[in-house]
Amino acid sequence: MTPDGSLLSAEGLHKTYGATPALDGADFSIHPGEVVAVMGPSGSGKSTLLHCLAGIIQPDSGTVRYGPHTLTGLTDVQRSALRRSDFGFVFQFGQLVPELTCLENVALPLRLNGVKRKDAERQARTWLERLEVETVGGQRPGEVSGGQGQRVAVARALATAPRVVFADEPTGALDSLNGERVMSLLTDAARDTNAAVVLVTHEARVAAYSDREIVVRDGRVKDMLAGLI
Amino acid sequence: MSIGHTLLGLLESGPRHGYDLKRAFDEHFGHDRPLHYGQVYSTMSRLLKHGLVEVDGVEAGAGPERKRYAITDAGVTDVAQWLARPEKPEPYLQSTLYTKVVLALLTGRNAAELLDTQRTEHLRLMRGLTERKRGGDLADQLICDHALFHLEADLRWLELTAARLDRLAEAVRT
């Protein structure tokens, strides 16, 4: 846990791209098992916040803490290792490796963490069943529908039992019915495993699957429960 | 829409006669439904009775006496509380929300805050419906979906209005 008892927290994040500030003193915190929706207009800094929290990019200043680690103080290699072992990711598009089957895609992060092929594929199969796409295990991502592909991506994000799942517009390319099913399966699975979910979305019906929402506007974060933090 | 609160809010910029109040109301909010004089005077009588306005002066003329009304401290508090209180999400809410946003801008209050508070209230209801939908049968799901789509439309309006607050502020203050 971080000093304030949260699983992942950020303080005073600043990030500028050229002359454009993307984050301007953003704060954030999330607890285990909590689903937090990150909302706000396009270009407000939502995705930059997610990338800083996940250690994908380094902020210009400010601190990100994850459990006992100060993420912003780690090297690139250390942050990569932590992302692989503790974090899961779901994006809107293009996250599955097209040359691998769906089963191999889900098994991939387990294999990268040193799990033997047979065990990795057994676990992957369980996750595909849980996400209701066990029938597409032998197919490649290009051969399945958008909704099926996104469920495979969610299975892959959850296969390593991550403590935090980062989802950036995970239903952005899906129709309402598929989007809702993906959200339902994602949040159920995350709650069952006590994983926290940072969910970037501009869709209110997707945000309604969260426990609370924050709003990013002009690079600053407003926690709707606590007012401006 | 609460005509009483709207008239009170319009009085915050300074005392006005009933006629001026009607004109200001029609200009900002009465595009498709101007206020009747009778509504203005009956509303002002009620506000007087509750101590939310007071008579600031009376002018005698050829016709009936013209009262000038001023908002009291209790009236200002009443407007502030109304603006800060989120509306219960329901269909055709936009006319009340629009009135609140314009009044907040006219009276120098934080309209973005008002929109954020309303968004939280909408999302709170949407979470409840989503939860009900997850545990419900198909009929429940369809009923909840209908409500969710309406609430989502409101939320889109809140977002768009938030993005256009600067322009709206300019428009209502000129």
Which residues of A make CB contacts under 8 Å with B?
41, 184, 203-205, 207-210, 213, 215, 222, 224
Q: Say whether pTM exceeds 0.90.
A: no
**Nearest-CA distance from A136 to chain B in Å?**
25
Range of the domain at A18: 8-93+162-228
Dist. CA B73–CA B75, nearest whole Å: 5
CATH of the domain at A177: 3.40.50.300
- Tell me: the pLDDT tens digits for A173-224? 788 888 888 899 899 988 888 999 999 998 899 999 999 999 888 888 887 7
The answer to whether residue A117 is domain-embedded is no
For residue B15, CA distances in Å to B4, B59, B67 come to 15, 13, 10
Closest residue to B127, CB basis, from A208, A215, A222: A208
In a domain, A186, yes or no: yes
Spell out the domain ranges in chain B.
1-85, 87-174
A and B: number of Cβ contacts within 8 A: 36
Q: At A115, list the tokens.
A: 């799990």
Instruction: Classify residue A184 as exposed, middle or buried by CB count within 10 Å of its CB (0-12, 13-18, 19+).
Output: middle
Chosen for mutation from B110, B117, B129, B152 (greatest number of chain A CBs closer than 10 Å) is B152
- In-domain check, residue A189: yes
Instruction: Provide the number of structural domains found in chain A.
Output: 1
Q: Distance between CA A201 and CA B159 in Å, rounded?
A: 13
In a domain, A109, yes or no: no
Per the domain annotation, does A220 fall within a domain?
A: yes
Report pLDDT digits (tens) over A107-156.
999 999 899 999 999 999 999 999 999 999 999 999 999 889 999 999 99
Give the up-direction half-sphere exposure of residue A136: CA atoms within 13 A in the CB hemisphere: 25
CA distance B123 to chain A (A): 6
ipTM, two decimals, is 0.81
Q: Which CATH architecture has domain B1-85?
A: Orthogonal Bundle (1.10)
Under a CB-based contact definition with an 8 Å cutoff, are residues A215 and A222 in contact?
Answer: yes
Are A205 and B130 an interchain contact pair (Cβ–Cβ within 8 Å)? yes
Q: Which two tokens stand for residue A198?
A: 């940072």
B119 touches chain A (CB under 8 A): yes
Q: Among A63-67, A117-121, B116-120, where is mean pLDDT lowest? A: B116-120
Residues A57/A51, Cβ–Cβ less than 8 Å: yes
As a whole number of angstroms, the distance between CA A182 and CA A131 comes to 8
Which residue of chain B is at minimal alpha-carbon distance from A225?
A: B120
Q: pLDDT class for A227, splitting at 50, 70, 90? A: very low
A17: left (phi over 0), alpha (psi -120 to 50) or beta: beta
Q: How far apart are CA B28 and CA B26, in angstroms?
A: 6
Residue A153 lies in a domain: no
In a domain, A152, yes or no: no
